[in-house]
């Protein structure tokens, strides 16, 4: 049996059942073929390096290094990589961080199935695709001159902020991101300074206030 030709898609989600559903949906289109599946950020980076893909459909909530760091690493190795974030996070903070990391598109998981198929096609064609409602909110924030307190954080700083707010300690973050303790400690200090926080509890409260963490 010969492999189907078409737009090659790498699916990245930590739930096997969810990936199976996406595979059926995407391969119902004649021009799309799922050539790989990954359940973690590390596995996504490895598979992309080994197999490549025309489009990576990436969740952000992943075990290990997480989706944002996976995007950053893939794009660092291949600036032409085309990554579509497909996530439950609809807050514009995550959208801005994903685009800053190198993603070419962003869709919430609440999107209609046909929207995902069309978004993959657009990303494969070299276009950008951002959910309409999210794009409107981004534009509204800019016209009002309102920016998120997290806008000044780099992708790495934002990821470390999220992990600290979730309750991870410096050692745990260092292990997860393959960084030294000293490097993570320095990032932690930078994040607190940029956000005007003194303690990790302050970071957690800030994350809850902005809807990035459930109370």
Q: Residue-wise pLDDT tens for the chain (215 aa)?
A: 345 678 999 999 999 999 999 999 999 999 999 999 999 999 999 999 999 999 999 999 888 888 999 999 999 999 999 999 999 888 888 888 899 899 999 999 989 999 999 999 999 999 999 998 888 887 877 666 666 788 788 888 998 999 999 899 999 999 988 889 999 999 999 999 999 999 999 999 998 888 787 65
- Look at residue 33 and give its three-state secondary structure: strand
pLDDT of residue 154: 85
Q: What count of other Cβ atoms lies within 10 Å of the Cβ of residue 105?
A: 24
Dihedral angle computed from the Cα positions of residues 105, 106, 107 and 108, in that order, rounded to the nearest 10 degrees: 170
CA distance 45 to 10: 10
Q: Which residues does 75 contact at the CB level (< 8 Å), separation at least 6?
A: 81, 83, 101, 102
pLDDT of residue 148: 73
Which of 181, 177, 180, 137 has its CA nearest to residue 160?
Answer: 177
pTM of the complete model? 0.82
pLDDT of residue 139: 81
Which of 102, 111, 121 has its CA nearest to residue 33?
Answer: 121
- Pull the structure tokens for residue 178: 């393959």
pLDDT of residue 57: 97
The structural domains of the chain, ordered by start, are 7-143 (3.40.50.2300), 155-209 (1.10.10.10)
Q: What count of other Cβ atoms lies within 10 Å of the Cβ of residue 126?
A: 9
pLDDT of residue 1: 36
Residue matched to tokens 């494969």: 124
181, 174 Cβ separation under 8 angstroms: yes
The one-character DSSP state at 6 is S
């Amino acid at each position: 049996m010969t492999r189907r030709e078409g737009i090659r898609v790498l699916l990245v989600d930590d739930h096997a059942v969810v990936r199976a559903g996406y595979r059926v949906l995407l391969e119902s289109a004649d021009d799309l073929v799922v050539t790989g599946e990954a359940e973690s950020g590390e596995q996504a980076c490895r598979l992309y390096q080994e197999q490549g893909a025309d489009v990576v459909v990436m969740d952000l909530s992943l075990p290990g290094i997480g989706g944002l760091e996976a995007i950053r690493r893939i794009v660092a190795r291949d600036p032409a990589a085309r990554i579509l974030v497909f996530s439950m996070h609809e807050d514009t903070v995550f959208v801005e961080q994903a685009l800053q990391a190198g993603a070419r598109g962003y869709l919430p998981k609440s999107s209609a199935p046909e929207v995902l198929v069309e978004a993959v096609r657009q990303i494969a064609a070299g276009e950008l695709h951002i959910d309409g409602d999210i794009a409107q909110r981004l534009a509204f924030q800019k016209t009002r001159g309102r920016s998120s307190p997290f806008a000044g954080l780099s992708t790495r700083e934002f990821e470390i902020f999220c992990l600290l707010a979730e309750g991870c300690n410096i050692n745990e973050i260092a292990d997860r991101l393959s960084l030294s303790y000293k490097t993570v400690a320095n990032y932690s200090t930078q994040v607190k300074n940029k956000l005007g926080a003194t303690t990790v509890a302050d970071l957690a409260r800030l994350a809850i206030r902005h809807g990035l963490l459930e109370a």
